[in-house]
Amino acid sequence: MSQQEHPAGTTSAEPAVAAVVVLAAGQGTRMRSRTPKVLHALGGRTMLGHVLAAAAPLGARETAVVVGSGREHVTAHLAEIDPAALAVVQEEQNGSGHAAAVALDALPDVTGPVLIVNGDAPLLRPETLAGLVAAHRAAGDVLTVLTADVDEPTGLGRIVRDTAGAVQQIVEEKDADDDQRAITEVNAGVYVGDAAAVREALTRVGSANRQGEQYLTDVLGLLVADGHRVGGYRADDPADTLGCNDQRELAERRRTLNDRVLDRLMRGGVIVIDPRTTWVDVTVEVAAEAVLHPGTQLHGVTTVAAGAAIGPDTTLTDTEVGEGASVVRAHATLAVIGDEVSVGPFAYLRPGTRLARRSKVGTFVETKNASIGEGAKVPHLSYVGDATIGEGTNIGAATVFVNYDGVAKHHTTIGSHARTGADNMFVAPVQVGDGAYTAAGSVITEDVPPGAMAVARGRQRNVAGWVGLRRPGTRAAEAAAAAAAAETDGNGHADIRPTGSAPDDEQ
């Protein structure tokens, strides 16, 4: 990372903040869920994951996450997404001030600016936190609070400033007078302050309130009373500061986040036909000139190359899509779809599927751990599991790769430019050589040499007159008798055709 990529006033050797403290111990009872509040997901990350991602560019040497309710689950998740972060247990949830004190006690050697942020603010953006920290460092204030101007401030803590613009206090709704209630600048619950000053002020925070808890907002008042200057930094977008307290608000945050993602993609040249029905995780990459049709969902680390068309009604998770590919009404997970590949409609690509350039997986086809060569086709009604299919090969309709013997999975290999008949069963392990054919209806249990025709089915036998003898009086018998009479009247003999012919070259 170059010096220019760091927030103002810092260098590559000097982090923007010394430490980040994330308050994530709350139970979140209004979520009505057994899942800890900060582990609820939106846009490809948990709420906690979004907060940590927003703070990561600040380059803090220490990150402490205060955990309490559901601590085992939160700690395990933290170990997955940020192994270097320290999980600090708040045994009793005694308020935000107590949580901050517990975190700073776990970081006794930290000096300099510390960022304190709630773990349920998933819309926070890196640029907002960078702006907050830069403003704090430039002003030299002991503490700076993130604020937002909102149209409807009811229920939120108001920011009261002096004539010089310094923050004097945060007044809660219930304690505000009429003039203070008219203030539209509100507290966002994000602070950056000098570690020593904040640490000392926290020792003086009391709990003489209705909840009997220690509030982090009281630190601001104590520092002002000590004669320190406290600053306030307004977020450009008030949505950045929104928390999430119930499932309704979580749904609203999902929509806001998705709108941001789609706006960024469209500004970059991605064609989104209907943003209202298109959902894309923040971790997804989509190139310019790709087209996302209605009902498209892109999750995880999915990538979509230029000129690809996805949807309608398609869900891709951790899937790579090449240039010019088409994926229609399909589901794919951990799959690789090459350039100019055609998938769907109604296809299911399971993990390990790899489709080479210009190959095709068509209607009602399921694949798993399958490598399909360049220009090869599996057009319809088939299951391809644990298989390798060579270039230019065509797989007939209603084909099943029988890969499981009840104990272990086995592999099937179909060579290049082979043609397999409809309704084939390939009982693994088995190999079909280059240029070989297999007859329709065959159950292939032995290897087929290159260029050979494999026929593995019982020979057809027609029992003449069976319907008339065994089903007399039925409509089938009447139809057969009428057909026989018509043939006899027309040419004096029955029309006999050969059976057991070889499959067509293409299915």
User: Which residues are annotated as catalytic?
Assistant: 380
Q: Cα dihedral sign for 119, 125, 128, 133?
A: positive
Q: Whole-angstrom Cα distance, residue 479 to residue 471? A: 12
Q: How far apart are the C-alpha atoms of 361 and 418, rounded to whole Å?
A: 16
Q: Is 125 helix (H, G, I), strand (E, B) or coil?
A: coil
Burial zone of 42 (CB within 10 Å; 0-12 exposed, 13-18 middle, 19+ buried): buried
DSSP label at 409?
B
The rounded distance, in Å, linking the Cα atoms of 175 and 278 is: 44
Chain position carrying tokens 């794919």: 332
Q: b or e along 87-101 (b: 16 or more beta carbons within 10 Å of the residue's beta carbon)?
A: bbebeeebbbbbbbb
User: How many Å apart are CA 361 and CA 383, to the nearest integer?
Assistant: 10
Q: Facing residues of 414 across strands?
A: 389, 432
Cα–Cα distance between 10 and 192 in angstroms, integer?
A: 15
Contact partners, residue 167, CB within 8 Å, separation at least 6 = 145, 159, 160, 161, 220, 224, 230, 231, 232
Nearest CA to 358 out of 394, 325, 314 is that of 325
What is the rounded distance in angstroms from the CA atom of residue 340 to the CA atom of residue 322? Answer: 7
State the distance between the two ends of the chain, measured CA to CA, in whole angstroms.
55
Lookup: tokens for 38: 């900060």
As a whole number of angstroms, the distance between CA 102 and CA 95 comes to 11
Instruction: State how far the Cα of 181 lies from the Cα of 175, in Å rounded to an integer.
Output: 9
Q: Amino acid letter at 477?
A: A
Q: Single out the residue of 340, 332, 329 nearest to residue 377, CA to CA.
A: 340
> Read out DSSP for 199-258?
HHHHTT----STT----THHHHHHHHHTT--EEEEE-SSGGGG----SHHHHHHHHHHHH
Largest CA distance in the chain: 118
| CB 365, CB 344: distance < 8 Å | no
